[in-house]
Amino acid sequence: MIALMSDMKIEETDLFQPRFGADGLIPAVATDSSDGRLLMLAYMNEAALKKTVETGEAWYWSRSRSELWRKGATSGHVQRVIEIRTDCDQDAIQLIVEQTGPACHTDRRSCFYRVVETPEGLKLKFKD
């Protein structure tokens, strides 16, 4: 989209300069505008991001099908974009959306429905 400025830290610029990975993708999370709940994680390429900005609806890049897809194109569970944010180093996108119907293809409100717990109810510790 916009070339990175070499003489200004990306964290301090007011310019939207998304940093796509070597694969041309950037992770994008969608959160519900009504309560901030995390709904889903997907990926966008430059074309998906442009279509999202142009249409006001969430578009993503399907890594499994290698094609653009508009969220809700077949299910009707569209995401109307209220706001687009980027993180400090602009290598991730947050879409704040009005979600129609469930966000998850499993027919759940959120793709993040599993809670990972130990039998003792302790937080999991992973090896270093």
Q: Is 1 a member of any domain? A: no
Q: Is 17 a member of any domain? A: no
Q: Is 55 a member of any domain? A: yes
Q: How many residues would you count in the chain?
A: 128
Q: Is 81 a member of any domain? A: yes
The domain total for the chain is 1
Q: Which residues pair with 28 in a beta bridge?
A: 42, 93
pLDDT band at 117 (very low <50, low <70, confident <90, very high): confident
Q: Is 123 a member of any domain? A: no
Q: Report the C-alpha gap between 49 and 13 in whole angstroms.
A: 20
In the chain, % of residues over pLDDT 90: 75
- pLDDT tens digit string along 70-89? 999 999 999 999 999 999 99
Q: What is the mean pLDDT of residues 41-69?
A: 97
Instruction: Return mean pLDDT, the chain.
Output: 89
Q: Is 76 a member of any domain? A: yes
Q: Report the C-alpha gap between 84 and 89 in whole angstroms.
A: 15
Q: Report the C-alpha gap between 68 and 45 in whole angstroms.
A: 9
Q: Which CATH number do you get for residue 37?
A: 3.10.20.810
